[in-house]
Amino acid sequence: MDQQKTTEVEAAVFRRLLAHLDANKDVQNIDLMILANFCRNCLSKWYMGEAEERGESVNYDQAREIVYGMPYSEWKEKHQLAATPEQLAAFENR
């Protein structure tokens, strides 16, 4: 596969990952952190960092809106639950 096709496939996979996360809003960021050591906020930071490496200016709020599909404050209000004591303990023990 040539570089252009590789980049297209990687971009499509990223879009598919975002769509999957969007379709599974019940999966909380803390659960992702416990199980995979990354979450939607990590993806946002990675997006921002990669854009900056390529000379593009994307701030954290813009990156989170790309990842969450809406402003973070809206997503948090609609979908984020308070972490349970069990989740917090699992996060601390990972």
pLDDT of residue 16: 98
CATH of the domain at 38: 1.10.3340.10
The predicted model gives 22-40 an average pLDDT of: 97
The predicted model gives 21-48 an average pLDDT of: 97
pLDDT of residue 30: 97
Q: Are 11 and 66 in contact (CB under 8 A)?
A: no
Instruction: List the Cα angle 36/60/7 in 5-degree steps.
Output: 65
pLDDT of residue 24: 97
Q: Residue 50: pLDDT band by 50, 70, 90 thresholds?
A: very high
Q: Which domain holds residue 37?
A: 3-93
pLDDT of residue 23: 97
Does pTM top 0.85 for this prediction?
yes
**What H or E segment, with its residue span, contains residue 87?**
helix 85-93
Domains identified in the chain, total number: 1
